[in-house]
Amino acid sequence: MNSTNTALNNTLVITIDGPTASGKGTITRLIAQRLGWHILDSGALYRLVALAAQKHQIALDDIASLQPLAAHLDVEFVAAEGAEEMVVLLEGEDVTLELRKETTGNGASKVAALPVVRGALLERQRAFAQSPGLVADGRDMGTVVFPSAVIKIFLTASAEERARRRYNQLKDKGLGVTMRGLLEEIAERDERDMNRSASPLVPAEDAVELDTSALSIEQVVDHLWQLCQVRLN
Ligand code: DC
């Protein structure tokens, strides 16, 4: 065990990492619901930094201003009755819809490449590890934030399949996008997330990798659930 483990007060953590639109969010929510555990959507924190920067007119490469912004992010996640997703308040303002826009995701990918921003968000992410357990979704959950997680999953899917899923997701929310634009944005984000020097998107050595291109959500959840039966008992 390293010092990170003791900092996490032995709470059980499952990490679900993978590229954009690989299904992490949905799978995380379904597994957390079955287990009755907490959720960390770490991408939302990077998205919130990008939104806060926009709100305060801070450039996405202004390291000196982004560090304190990320460290003191005034954010609240509120469970809304009957809704699947949490309502997200940034400085008291409802940014739930804004948060999911592709432009926000792109800004998030830019600020996420900065080590000062990643460092500023590290302890905030670890604080989500509360009893009875946490399912954490992101890019570096298994490699950096929760290296001693009991189960580490790395989800992948082809860029085309991910673009198709994201297209349906955004369309359902009434946000206008085109498949071609999405494919380009996904390729650009993959490139940035995988090739940055700070906590790049790579599977942890002990992660179980799962290509979900040809799998339904139920099949992925079943697979993971079997893993939970083995590792959590
Ligand atoms: O999962 P998402 O699309 O909401 O994430 C938005 C961006 O944030 C993504 O392009 C990369 C970045 N990110 C990250 O670098 N590390 C994480 N743990 C989560 C997200």
Q: Convert the pLDDT of each residue in 82-92 to its tens digit.
A: 777 789 999 99
Q: What pTM, to 2 d.p., does this model score?
A: 0.90
Q: Whose CA is nearest to atom 6 of ligand 1?
A: 43
pLDDT of residue 6: 36
Task: Output DSSP code: residue 197.
Answer: S
Residue 139 C-alpha to ligand 1 middle, in angstroms? 6
Q: Residue ranges per domain, the chain?
A: 11-226
Q: Given a cut of 50, is residue 203 above it in pLDDT?
A: yes
- Lowest mean pLDDT of 9-18, 124-133, 171-180, name the range: 171-180
d(CA 187, CA 182): 9
Q: Whose CA is nearest to atom 20 of ligand 1?
A: 43
Q: Please give the backbone phi and psi of residue 79, each rounded to the nearest 5 degrees, phi first.
A: -75, 120
Would you state the structure tokens that stand for residue 224, as one six-digit string?
Answer: 């993971």
Residue range 90-141, pLDDT digits in tens: 999 999 999 988 899 999 999 999 999 999 999 999 999 999 999 999 999 9
| Contact between 207 and 153 (Cβ < 8 Å) | yes
How is domain 11-226 classified at the architecture level of CATH? 3-Layer(aba) Sandwich (3.40)
